[in-house]
Structure 1
Amino acid sequence: MHTNLTLINTIAAGLGLALILGFICARVKLPALVGYLLAGVIIGPYTPGFVADTEIASQLAEIGVMLLMFGVGLHFSLDDLLSVRKIALPGAVVQMVVATLMGMAMASWWGWAIGPALVLGISLSVASTVVLLRALESLGILGSITGRIAVGWLVVEDLAMVLVLVLLPPLAGFLGGHPPDSSGAESVGTALGLTLLRVGGFVALMLLVGRKLFPWLLWQVTRTGSRELFTLCVVAAALGIAFASAELFGVSFALGAFFAGMVLRESEFSHRAAEESLPLRDAFAVLFFVSVGMLFDPYVLIEEPVHVLGVVAIIVVGKSLAAVALVLLMRYPLHTALTISASLAQIGEFSFILVGLGAQLGLMPDEGHSLVLAGALISIALNPLLFKAIEPLRQLLREHSLLVRRLEARDDPLAELPRSTEAKYLSRQVVLVGYGRVGRRIAQALKAAGQPFVVADQNRERVEALRAKGMAAVVGNAGDPEVLIQAHIAQARMLVIATQDTLSLHQMIETARTLNPEIQIVVRSHNEDEAERMKAAGVGTVFLGEAELAHAMARHVLAPPPLEKAH
């Protein structure tokens, strides 16, 4: 009896080959995701041998996108999103416009018509959420201000692409394609209005109703004591909300899953939900990269090498330079600008959807489809290398570029304390690096105890808000000596590092001890291995979140019971 095992064959072949090639790449010091992409090429329809089902692989990859965005939402609050709106919103819009114009100019030079050139340009302007999140998680900076800016930037891009996908069919006739039905100016306006209404309705429903309903539902399931029901509830919520958002509101699966995670974050079990869904997220994320490789036709590298080079140059170089310029213009530090630019130097799932729709509407030739897929594969493979090059490139630019040194030394009113700052903030004060959820609570305790302190944070909006409240604060990455100098670290009593960005930790400590050998240092750690390494290196007093929680609970348990009142 014949049985259709297409799904099993696709998963087994994809994961098995990805494991082998990922392991080989890791042993030769290449990113493992290069192996995942090569696995997809090998089992794809353009290479001989076994061919997996492309349609099933793409659906499995979509599940991976949903679970990954759900996981990000579990660690990303609405406040985090709003805190980076002043850079993420204009930055994403301007960067998309610049990249689209570059793509259109290149396609016009090839002789393409305006419609296909526009579709190609837009497809090169939007980055892959999956690639970005994997990169930020591997670096441990997803929760940092730089990570929040990058995630907020891509949320804006996702919203913009939802509008593009809705507006492209009614505009196809004007752009030289063949629209699915008769379209006019009125239908374009109607489509835009309905899209904005649906997206706004979805966001409002999730924030007003979802923030109360889904945490309550998770609590009810938890009360059963069944671990499998808890896991099932988490996965069902992630996939169910994502699917419903796409079907009922026209929002992308990724965006729907992201908001699902944000509303479930209100539950006290959000950390457990993140842990329970982690294995599934990792497995399906691998299938995403395999599915990208399956779509790639290697022959395009032989037939159109110059065109492929042009597409990759816009994605990796053009978008990166545009992002660096925009972030620096908004007075963020060079390290943040380089990290954001590396985050955006790739394309992925939305680009595939757009070129597919363009082909249906007669706005994308077969050559364009192959070029976009080639650009995606190459840019995704190069992306981990770009992240590794950030710090060496930053040092090189600072040493050899007068312009970079001038940019970092420019007169930024938030980069130094005002002349009117009281003397108590300039000597024997506490320098608090990071004003997130942990830093904010430390600041509240210091203020209640009457201990003067100076905050150093990379978020300009946060520093502006602190200044408006009369608090001493400077903006910048505390890994740069200039930031700690402006916080008067040389006269400080203590340095408290409460930021999640541990990449600059040793530089902060080195600067502080060079300028103030007697300073006390307190560091926040995120796991036991990291805490042990910090203690062995003598960085100061290290606090581990789980350990401090256990100590607090133990003190409560062992505390003497209160005396009963006599009746």
Structure 2
Amino acid sequence: MEGWDLLPRVVGLLAAAVALGLLARRLRQNVIVGYLVAGLVLGPTGAGLVRPGADVAVLSELGVALLLFSIGLEFSFAHLRQLGRVAVAGGSIQLVATAAAVALAGLLLGVPAPAAVALGLGFAMSSTAVVLRELTDRSQLDSAHGRNAIGILLVQDVAVIPILILTDALGHGATAGAMMGAVALRSAGVVAFIAAAWLLAKYVLPRLLQRAALSGSREIPVVVAACAAIGAAWGAHALGFSPSLGAFVAGIVLAASPFATQIRADVTPLGAVFVTLFFASAGTAVDLPLRTQYLLAILALAAGVMLGKAAIASFAVWTVQRLPNVAVATGLAVSQVGEFTFVVSATAHRSGLLSAEWFQAAMATALATLMVTPALIGAAPAMATRILRRPPLPAARAHQERRVLVVGFGPAGRAVVEALRAGGVPFAVLEMNPLTVAANRLEFSIELGDATQPEVLLHAGVPEEMALYLLP
């Protein structure tokens, strides 16, 4: 069967990613660096065993969508409202200013104007997959610079639609009216999708999840959650915009349900496999020049792009928040060239805007910035402090007021909760029975979750809790 031809490539990429990810860990580097190098080793530049293909790209994009779905479950519409000003104003300034700066630099280097604009649009995008993965692993999602970075990335994801339309139109010489009409049509599709996703996630999915949880089967809730994430990604793709953005919207709507914590724990392992495939396949898209002079030029280009993007994003956030440390840390976090740059550059190359040389230069530059990003995000707060010579703001902690976590709300758990309430001790409860969770959610903090899963305990605040009660 033709479909089986895909499996050797997937297995080869994953096996190489595991091996080089372990090597990266031994060298005290982030595993993402190992995954990216795996693609280079097996791709056209290296052994030539794996070449980029549409089938692998679909699986890779699915991984990013599942990652965004999991991140969305951590948020809510209230969180988005808090991001509003920084996301819309800061993100818009960053996009426009970065695109203009790169386009101007391209013109100075002798790149034709349409191609320079395409490069600017592509390089303005940052990596949603890498940044969110790193912020999650480092427990910085709820930090000030983490929230700002997420807001900017969301604006970029929304901007993918008009950017791709504009890039394609530049290559085919479309009129301004035709471009505006295409953008308006896609925007209407986005609004329709969000409305449909909200209705389904608000009224249909919670009932399905409750019945699945009451069935007593651990597999059924996992399948329902996976269907929600993958279905949202497919729906977004069918309407012509980012699958990861569609999955994120579905996650945000479900974040208000009592099943959010458990869904995230169930979906995360599945997403980890596909996200690993995404990073590995990104390396296969790059035909990195082997001659030293080209390699040095690309490294210099990558350094210039990251410095420029960091400065522009920092200024954009500072104009909105006036918090220098947070602004610089945010700018460093989104300074890389992201995965959508691959898509934008490929679109520009197919339409004749970018020559093969500039296309490969863009790909190699993106890969170089992605390899540096994990370490840069980890060092961003300290680097901001050193650059500005100012002490950082105290980090916000989502669970700083909570002191006790009660696992199980049976008779013994109820007795403990009553004692804690009587003593005025802050607490939260983890419970597996969805009916019990639904009946008590309005009275105190109680979440549906399996305490045997580390993901659930970490989300609940362990090991930050001062006391943990495990009760029948």
**TM-score when normalising by structure 1:** 0.68
* 3-state SS in 2 of match to 1:304: helix
- State percent identity of aligned pairs: 28
Equivalence for 1:378: 368
Asked if residue 265 in structure 1 is aligned to residue 264 in structure 2, the reply is: no
Residue 466 of structure 2: aligned partner: 543
2:155 corresponds to: 156
**Within 5 A, what are the aligned runs for 1:395-474?**
395-399=385-389
Alignment length, in residue pairs?
421
Query: Any unmatched runs of 5+ in structure 2?
Result: 404-421, 425-457
Secondary structure of 2:466's aligned partner: strand
- 8 Å CA contact 2:97–2:312 kept in 1: the answer is yes
Match of 1:345 among 328, 332, 335: 335
Aligned to 2:279: 289
**1:189 aligned to 2:180?**
yes
> Is contact 1:64-1:285 (8 Å) kept?
yes
Q: CA deviation at 1:87?
A: 1.0
Q: Could you tell me how far apart the structure 1 residues matched to 2:152 and 2:210 are?
A: 32
The answer to whether the aligner puts 1:12 opposite 2:11 as a matched pair is: yes
Give distance in 2, aligned partners of 1:103 and 1:320: 13
Q: What one-letter code is carried by the residue in structure 1 that aligns with 2:183?
A: L
Q: Partner residue of 1:330?
A: 320
Distance 1:332 1:190, change over 3 A: same
Structure having greater relative contact order (Cα 8 Å, sep ≥ 6): 2
Three-state SS of the structure 2 residue aligned to 1:134 is helix
Q: Structure 1's 329 and 118: CA in aligned 2 closer, same or farther, altered over 3 A?
A: same
1:260 and 1:363 map into 2 onto residues whose CA distance is 35
Contact 1:355 1:369 in 2 (8 A): yes
More deviation in 310-319 or 87-96?
Answer: 310-319
State the partner residue of 2:446: none
Equivalent position amino acid for 2:219 in 1: E
Checking the alignment, whether the CA contact within 8 Å between 1:18 and 1:36 is kept in structure 2 is: yes
Summarize deviations over 1:248-268 as a string: whole Å, max 9, x none: x32210100101111222321
SS at match of 1:140: coil
Aligned to 2:220: 229
- Aligned residue for 1:178? 172
Task: Please tell me whether residue 210 in structure 1 is matched to residue 204 in structure 2.
Answer: no
Q: How does 1:459-498 map to 2 (within 5 A)?
A: none
Q: 1:129 touches 1:154 (CA, 8 Å); kept in 2?
A: yes
Tell me whether 121-130 or 318-327 shows the greater mean CA deviation. 318-327
Shift of 1:322: 1.2
AA in 2 matched with 1:228: E
Q: Which runs of 5+ in 1 are unaligned?
A: 409-414, 416-431, 442-448, 452-523, 532-541, 558-567
Q: Distance in 2 between matches of 1:27 and 1:235?
A: 33
Give 2:267's aligned residue. Answer: 277
Q: Deviations over 1:178-199 (max 9, x none)?
A: 35xxx43432232122122221
Distance of aligned partners of 1:435 and 1:284 in 2 relative to their CA distance in 1, 3 Å threshold:
closer
Q: 1:438 to 1:207 in 2, by over 3 A?
A: farther
Q: Which amino acid counterpart does residue 543 of structure 1 have in structure 2?
A: M
Please tell me whether residue 311 in structure 1 is matched to residue 301 in structure 2: yes
* Secondary structure in structure 2 of the residue aligned to 1:282: helix
Write the distance in 2 (CA, Å) between the matches of 1:205 and 1:44.
40
Q: 1:86 corresponds to which residue?
A: 85
Report the AA paired with residue 155 of structure 1: L
Aligned to 2:207, what secondary structure does the other structure show? helix
Question: How far apart are the structure 2 equivalents of 1:3 and 1:331?
Answer: 54
Match of 1:253 among 243, 252, 259: 243
Do the aligned partners of 1:242 and 1:257 also contact (CA within 8 Å) in 2? yes
SS at match of 1:193: helix
Question: Is the Cα–Cα contact under 8 Å of residues 142 and 396 in structure 2 kept in the other structure?
Answer: no
The range that moved more, 143-152 or 297-306, is 297-306
Given the superposition, is the C-alpha separation of residues 178 and 184 from structure 1 closer, same or farther in structure 2, using an over 3 Å criterion?
Answer: closer
Residue 21 (structure 2) pairs with residue 30 (structure 1): no
Mark the CA change 1:368 to 1:3 in structure 2 (over 3 Å): closer, same or farther.
Answer: closer
Quick one: distance in 2 between partners of 1:26 and 1:433?
27
- The 4+ residue runs of structure 1 with deviation greater than 4 A are 432-441, 524-528
Q: Shift in Å at residue 363 of structure 1?
A: 1.2
Q: Out of 97-106 and 63-72, give the one that drifted further.
A: 97-106
Task: Note the aligned Cα RMSD (angstroms).
Answer: 3.0
Shift of 1:130: 0.4
For 2:136 and 2:380, the matched residues in 1 are separated by 16
- Spell out, residue by residue over 1:300-353, the C-alpha distance to the aligned partner (whole angstroms, 9 max, x if none): 664634652453134310010112222233344343223311221112221111
For the residue of structure 2 that corresponds to 1:330, the secondary structure is: helix
Which is greater in Rg?
A: 1
2:434 maps to what in 1?
A: none
TM-score, normalised by the number of residues in structure 2 = 0.81
Letter in 2 for 1:36: Y
Contact 2:324 2:388 in 1 (8 A): no
